[in-house]
Amino acid sequence: MKKDIRIPVSENIHVAIIHEWNEEFQCNDWNAYLINNSDSAVEMVFVSTHGYAETVKTSTMRHGLGTISAKSHAKIELLHEDVLKLNNEFFVSYFGQRDGKLYEKKFLFRKNTINERAMRDIPVMNCKGILA
């Protein structure tokens, strides 16, 4: 029965957008990171991303990040300046190392919310950025 199905709640997993210096191109880039702020590793991490607005939709990008250790982070992708004016959705799936259960969580950055004024302290990374 429906009432017997238990869907685990994803906690201590975050997506952050960081504005950081790109040494190769000598400019600041917006990069998306997955942060594991839990006390155990997460395994088989898979992230699906896309941007959208009323009349525009980007391609769907898929990223396999593997295992992310406890209290650490992994880079998902570079965000081009043109997609900052769109809603940016990150759908994260992973297995918890402790219980082996599948977790899923959707993170959404609303259009025009990725900017310098919205930056705040980011856990684990010890820098400033935007959390979904």
CA atoms within 13 A on the CB side of 114: 28
CA 3 vs. chain centroid, Å, equals 30
Instruction: Give the whole-number percent of the chain exceeding pLDDT 70.
Output: 98
CB neighbours of 58 closer than 8 A, spacing ≥ 6?
50, 51, 52, 83, 86
pLDDT at 1: 65
Q: Are strands 120-122 and 127-131 parallel, antiparallel or unpaired?
A: antiparallel
d(Cα 34, Cα 90) in Å, to the nearest integer? 10
Question: Radius of gyration of the chain from Cα atoms?
Answer: 16
pTM for the model stands at 0.91
Instruction: Provide φ and ψ at 85, rounded to 5°.
Output: -85, 0
Record: fold of 13-131 = Immunoglobulin-like (2.60.40)
What are the structural domain ranges in the chain?
A: 13-131
* Residue in the block written with tokens 């992230």: 47
Contact predicate 34/82, CB 8 Å: no
Query: pLDDT tens digit string along 19-75?
Result: 998 888 888 899 999 999 999 999 999 999 999 999 999 999 999 999 999 999 999
- CA torsion angle 79 82 86 88 (round to 10): -10
Mean pLDDT, range 80-89, rounded to an integer = 93
